[in-house]
Structures are given as structure tokens and as C-alpha cells.
């Protein structure tokens, strides 16, 4: 009875709000999930930075104690931390730790050596919503590599004080 009393233009508008809500909620959910995915990517980068710094500190401690294999043991420590970490263990498909002796910045006499620990973790195809946004970027014509890095990396440098260059 109520429908018969409504003008014809109002009858045609029934359900429009539901359709608009469906379109808007899908967009909002994609944006929310994208924020969560990028947040997880940034959190993963922070974990990689922390592991690189912690491994450099381990190398410093081992060099002070007189261990000559401090560089390789620092990378073993980094690999151990990655396997024990719940998030990194699930998304890291390839972990590369590179200890590299470098010149110490600010060391005019060049009497000491520094160790640079470089951590690289490959995270391809581990963040599904970011991959969806990458695909959307390809439709727009943007470079897909600019949307998500495939490799997260971090470096830490420590001054190895008891190793003197000869």
C-alpha cells in the first residue's frame, strides 16, 4: 500500500543507497588493506635494519674477545635471527648477509678497520594486496617496480678497534 502512494520517481530510487554503499565499501576496504600491507612492509624493513645492527654489534663483541672469525659469525647470527623471527621466516625467500671490511669514516691515520654488515632479504610476492596495487599501477601505466621493492636491505658499520691494518 505504501508503494502505491509513492511518486514514480521515488520508486525508481529504491536500492540506490545499497549500490552506492557497496561501491564505496569496496574502495575503502582496498585502501585499508593497502595501508596494512604497506605498514607490514615498513615493519619488515625495520626488522631487517635491527638485525643488521645487532649482527654488527655481535661482530664487535667477538672481535674484542679476540675471535678472528667475527665477520662470518656475525652473519651466522643474522641468519639465526631471521629463522627465529615469525614474520621474517614466513616472508623472506632469500637472505643474504655480506660482511665487508671498509675504511673507517673519520679515521685520518687509517689505523683501524671497520666492518660493514649488509643484510638483503628478498620479499617477492609475499604481500598480496601490494601485488594487487602493482597490477592496478600497470593498468594506469606506471612502472611496477616503483610500487614495491623486491629486496629489503640495511647496513650497519662498526669500528673494529683491535684489528690493526698492516
Residue 127 covered by a domain: yes
Helices of type H across the chain = 2-5, 8-11, 16-64, 70-84, 86-91, 128-140
Q: Has residue 59 got a pLDDT over 70?
A: yes
Q: What pLDDT is stored for residue 43 in this prediction?
A: 87
Residue 29 covered by a domain: yes
Specify whether the CB–CB gap between 55 and 70 falls below 8 A.
no
Residue 7 covered by a domain: no
Count of domains for the chain: 1
What region does 66 belong to: left with phi over 0, alpha with psi -120 to 50, or beta? left
Residue 4 covered by a domain: no
With cut-offs at 50, 70 and 90, classify the pLDDT of residue 85. Answer: confident
Average pLDDT over residues 41-46: 87
Residue 8 covered by a domain: no
Range of the domain at 107: 14-164
Q: Has residue 124 got a pLDDT over 60?
A: yes
Nearest CA among 46, 149, 83, 67 for reference residue 115: 67
Residue 153 covered by a domain: yes
Residue 19 covered by a domain: yes
Amino acid at each position: 500500500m505504501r508503494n502505491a502512494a509513492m511518486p514514480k520517481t521515488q520508486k525508481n530510487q529504491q536500492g540506490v543507497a545499497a549500490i552506492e554503499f557497496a561501491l564505496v565499501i569496496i574502495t575503502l576496504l582496498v585502501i585499508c588493506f593497502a595501508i596494512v600491507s604497506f605498514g607490514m612492509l615498513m615493519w619488515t624493513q625495520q626488522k631487517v635494519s635491527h638485525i643488521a645492527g645487532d649482527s654488527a654489534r655481535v661482530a664487535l663483541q667477538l672481535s674484542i674477545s679476540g675471535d678472528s672469525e667475527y665477520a662470518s659469525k656475525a652473519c651466522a647470527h643474522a641468519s639465526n635471527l631471521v629463522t627465529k623471527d615469525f614474520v621474517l621466516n614466513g616472508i623472506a625467500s632469500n637472505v643474504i648477509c655480506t660482511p665487508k671490511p671498509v675504511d673507517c669514516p673519520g679515521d685520518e691515520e687509517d689505523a683501524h678497520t671497520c666492518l660493514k654488515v649488509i643484510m638483503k632479504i628478498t620479499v617477492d610476492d609475499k604481500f598480496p594486496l601490494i601485488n594487487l596495487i602493482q597490477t592496478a599501477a600497470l593498468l594506469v601505466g606506471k612502472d611496477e617496480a616503483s610500487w614495491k621493492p623486491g629486496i629489503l636491505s640495511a647496513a650497519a658499520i662498526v669500528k673494529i678497534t683491535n684489528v690493526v691494518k698492516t
